[in-house]
A = this chain, B = another copy of it.
Amino acid sequence: MGSLSIHPVLGVGEVSPGEDVSQILIDALEANGPPLEEKDVLVVTHKIVSKAEGRIVELDSDSPDAHRHLVESEAAGVIRRRGNLVIAQTRHGFICANAGVDRSNAGPGRAVLLPLDPDRSANRIRLRVGRHFGCEVAVIISDTFGRPWRRGLTDIAIGVAGMEPINDLRGETDAHGMVLHVTQVAIADEISAAADLVMQKSSGIPAAIVRGVDWRPGTSGATSMVRSDEDDLFR
């Protein structure tokens, strides 16, 4: 197995509703490099996708009430609530704080929502950038989630196109010839986390190229990563 490299996509700048996020990414890659290569994974933070798709709302006020109403309108169900903290399931099935409503990097008095269909958004970008650079790539749309039991946040995949988000090793054997117990690697989440290492929250870098991952083509999308209700012990 070879090495892997991760490259920030520089020069994207501010994105506004109605803009063509694929073209913005292509222009940034053409201006600042590197050009996409076969089997690259382009990781794009959801924020610029949401903004381009107009998934941004003006808040009537900065009050907790206005925020709460917005979260409730985005949530398909509330998992836990404590004070102003709401852990909710989104319409896509993802479970996260505030149903994905985010006020950082949104501008004053505004909030950014999740894309309506991040898998579809990812696929649209995949087709456009793949055609432009003449290669087969995968695209991940990432967001920053907390998790139970552990402090700190990590980036995970909320939209996936071109690759199977889970690397299924069931039936493969370990170095002793024993069948592997650890069999389903959430490779799209690991790639999202890796990409975040060159983005960091305050730096204004909303995309990165992850090069050298041996992913498998597929169409399952990020929603296939949602654990079903009956398989889950923590709802």
Interface positions of A (Cβ within 8 A of B)? 1-8, 14, 80, 82, 85, 87, 94-95, 102-108, 144, 147-156, 165-167, 169, 172-176, 178, 180-187, 189-191, 193-194, 196-205, 210, 212-214, 224-227, 231-235
Residues of B within 8 A of A165 (CB): 152
Q: Does A148 lie within 8 Å of B227, measured CB to CB?
A: yes
Q: List 26 A-B contacts (CB under 8 A).
A: A1-B203, A4-B197, A4-B198, A5-B5, A104-B181, A104-B182, A105-B175, A105-B178, A107-B176, A107-B178, A149-B234, A150-B226, A150-B227, A151-B186, A151-B225, A151-B226, A152-B189, A153-B184, A154-B185, A154-B186, A169-B201, A172-B201, A174-B202, A180-B202, A190-B194, A197-B210
- Rounded to whole angstroms, the CA-CA distance of A102 and B191 in the bound complex is 24
Residues of B within 8 A of A213 (CB): 197
Supply 20 further A-B pairs (C-beta < 8 A) apart from A1-B205, A4-B198, A191-B197. A2-B8, A3-B7, A3-B198, A80-B233, A80-B234, A95-B148, A104-B174, A107-B178, A148-B232, A150-B189, A150-B227, A151-B184, A151-B231, A154-B186, A155-B190, A172-B201, A175-B202, A180-B202, A198-B212, A234-B234
- Rounded to whole angstroms, the CA-CA distance of A184 and B97 in the bound complex is 14
Which residue of chain B has its CB nearest to the CB of A205?
A: B1
Q: Does B201 lie within 8 Å of A180, measured CB to CB?
A: yes
Q: Does B8 lie within 8 Å of A6, measured CB to CB?
A: no
Name the distance in Å between A185's Cβ and chain B's nearest Cβ.
6
Residues of B within 8 A of A154 (CB): 185-186, 189-190, 193
Q: Does B233 lie within 8 Å of A105, measured CB to CB?
A: no
Q: Contact check: which of B3, B144, B173, B202 meets A202 at CB < 8 Å?
A: B173
Residues of B within 8 A of A200 (CB): 1, 167, 169, 185, 214
